Amino acid sequence: MSTQFGDRPMYIGGEFTESDSGKWMDSVNPATGEVHGRVPAGTVSDVDRAIKAAAAAQLDWGSRSVWERGERIRKLAEEIKKRAADVVPLEAADTGNTIASLGNDITLAAGYMNFVAGLGIEIKGESVPATTENIHFTMRQPYGVVGRIVPFNHPFLFAGAHLGAPLVAGNAVVLKSPDQSPLSATLMAEICHDVLPPGVVNIVSGEGLVVGDAIVRHPRVPRIGFTGSVPTGMAIQRSAAEVGIKHITLELGGKNPFIAFPDADPEAVANAAVSGMNFNWSGQSCGSTSRLMLHESIHDDVLARIEAQVSAIKVGDPLDKHSGMGPVNSEKHYKHVMGLIASANKEGARLVTGGSRPEGKEFSRGYWVRPTVFADVTMDMKIGQEEVFGPVLSVLKWKTTEQAIEMANCIDMGLTSAIWTNDIKVAMDTARKIESGLVWINGTGRHYMGTGFSGWKNSGLGREECLEEVLSYTRSKSIHIIM
């Protein structure tokens, strides 16, 4: 069957290749529900091929200087920027993220590569005065082959951003693309093909339970970096523990609180609450502040402003630069989002706007959900507890600061949070008490490279977007020179 984007191979050992099985998987355009491309349905033997290629290539790559590796990674960043015109429309069509927002994914992927490219020289050991007569020091070395598994919401950005740290540390990588939006992985493979020696980066497509699991369980993969949902993160820990002792980083989901205090400006809070939801990606961002907790004194004012803004978001073709929101990523995800909307209605949350498929012929196919706001949400409702990872904002009301902090912390995730107040004492007191890996005070959404990103509680393990991430792709060795 011929499709718009055609058959897009995997990348193993420097070659573009089909799966050993000869089978292919469809990729569906979420705006229409039509198949618009295919990728190989990878198998356990494909994974084995990729890991063997990576292990062979790593011997040379790991022996190169940090300057040389850094220079190659900077070149990757340059090529990523040059290929923006190819990546952005493909990614918009495959993910449903708006084309207007996707330039930022290119900037971030390239920016992160440039950032880590310079950190190679920081991969230092220590000299330790353990005795007076001998010399004792530590050195850091790469793991060898690293497995990286990425989610569907920003596949190109995550592929790019997640390659830099293991590579600069001297590892080779086997990356698994997400099966719901796998097409841009081939463009990343083409970039790697032009810049890196064969086998240093390998990209395998296919089902998580087959390809992802085979990467996790493979004896030659001691280090895994995973970005995705909490249940999959837990499954990866279980699988890894069944076969050995592995080093795993997990960047997982969130149900992130945004606490607005009585002194906050209602207009600023409404603007930030809407932008913090990332409607331009249909809310499909782990960091979206999807639980808005308004003090009762500003609740009605802020909610009215939010209703006006959210109901005005222009839902439409993600490839139209005027669209403010496209569809959600897949049929499976559409059912998940609609299921949580139904449960919110059933449990007594008040639907303020959205909550259904938009009207119009262009929305009759595909996976469209109107941008949605529920008020009167309480923390005993499913919509208060569970990550929607969709265009659904839950609004809660609070009276006392203790109550707000209790509401913020009473779930098992803790990725991001936002606090809005002009009182620095209140802001800092709340920031200390809140259980999340990142806190914005009078801000939302933005990541600040170098400062680190990580979840508390079930939202993750390990820290990324900082030096700690680069170091986490190395292991330490103590050396004693006996004089």
> Residue 416: in which H helix or E strand, if any?
strand 416-420
Token digits of residue 179: 């099966």
With binding defined as CB under 6 A, does residue 24 bind ligand NAP? no
- Asked if 191 and 80 count as a contact pair (C-beta separation under 8 A), the reply is yes
Which one of residues 9, 37, 96, 208 is an interface residue with ligand NAP (CB under 6 A)?
Answer: 208
- Asked if 16 and 10 count as a contact pair (C-beta separation under 8 A), the reply is yes
Q: Which is nearer to ligand NAP, 79 or 464 (CB)?
A: 464
Neighbour-count burial of 379, counting CB atoms closer than 10 A to its CB (0-12 exposed, 13-18 middle, 19+ buried): middle
Four-CA torsion 363, 365, 366, 372, nearest 10 degrees? 40
The one catalytic residue among 192, 286, 464, 465: 286
Range list of H helices, 118-260: 155-168, 185-195, 213-217, 230-243
Alpha carbons 415 and 429: distance in angstroms, whole number: 18
Alpha carbons 71 and 48: distance in angstroms, whole number: 29
Respond yes or no: is residue 286 known to be catalytic.
Answer: yes
Q: Which is nearer to ligand NAP, 135 or 439 (CB)?
A: 439
With binding defined as CB under 6 A, does residue 252 bind ligand NAP? yes
- Asked if 390 and 369 count as a contact pair (C-beta separation under 8 A), the reply is yes
Minimum distance between the CB of residue 99 and ligand NAP, rounded to whole angstroms?
20
Neighbour-count burial of 367, counting CB atoms closer than 10 A to its CB (0-12 exposed, 13-18 middle, 19+ buried): buried
Minimum distance between the CB of residue 266 and ligand NAP, rounded to whole angstroms?
29
With binding defined as CB under 6 A, does residue 240 bind ligand NAP? no
The one catalytic residue among 91, 251, 387, 464: 251
Q: How far is CA 79 from the centre of its chain?
A: 22
Strand order in the sheet with 145-149: 15-17, 10-12, 201-204, 172-176, 145-149, 223-227, 247-251, 460-461
> Distances from the Cα of 225 to the Cαs of 116, 253, 370, in angstroms?
16, 15, 34
Minimum distance between the CB of residue 126 and ligand NAP, rounded to whole angstroms?
30
Respond yes or no: is residue 79 known to be catalytic.
Answer: no
> Distances from the Cα of 95 to the Cαs of 86, 105, 107, 182, 208, in angstroms?
15, 12, 18, 9, 18
With binding defined as CB under 6 A, does residue 42 bind ligand NAP? no
With binding defined as CB under 6 A, does residue 151 bind ligand NAP? yes
Site map (CB under 6 A) of ligand NAP, residues 212-231, x = contact: xx--x----------xxx--
With binding defined as CB under 6 A, does residue 286 bind ligand NAP? yes
Four-CA torsion 150, 156, 158, 162, nearest 10 degrees? 100
Minimum distance between the CB of residue 9 and ligand NAP, rounded to whole angstroms?
17
Minimum distance between the CB of residue 131 and ligand NAP, rounded to whole angstroms?
44
Site for ligand NAP in 163-182 (CB under 6 A): 176, 178-180
Token digits of residue 349: 């949350």
Q: Which residues contact 149 (CB under 8 A, 6 or more apart)?
A: 175, 176, 208, 212, 215, 216, 224, 225, 226, 227, 228, 236
Site for ligand NAP in 363-402 (CB under 6 A): 387, 389
Q: Which is nearer to ligand NAP, 120 or 390 (CB)?
A: 390
Minimum distance between the CB of residue 91 and ligand NAP, rounded to whole angstroms?
15
Minimum distance between the CB of residue 339 and ligand NAP, rounded to whole angstroms?
14
Catalogue the active-site residues.
Answer: 251, 286
Binding site for ligand NAP (CB under 6 A): 149-153, 176, 178-180, 207-209, 212-213, 216, 227-229, 232, 235-236, 251-254, 286, 387, 389, 415, 455, 460
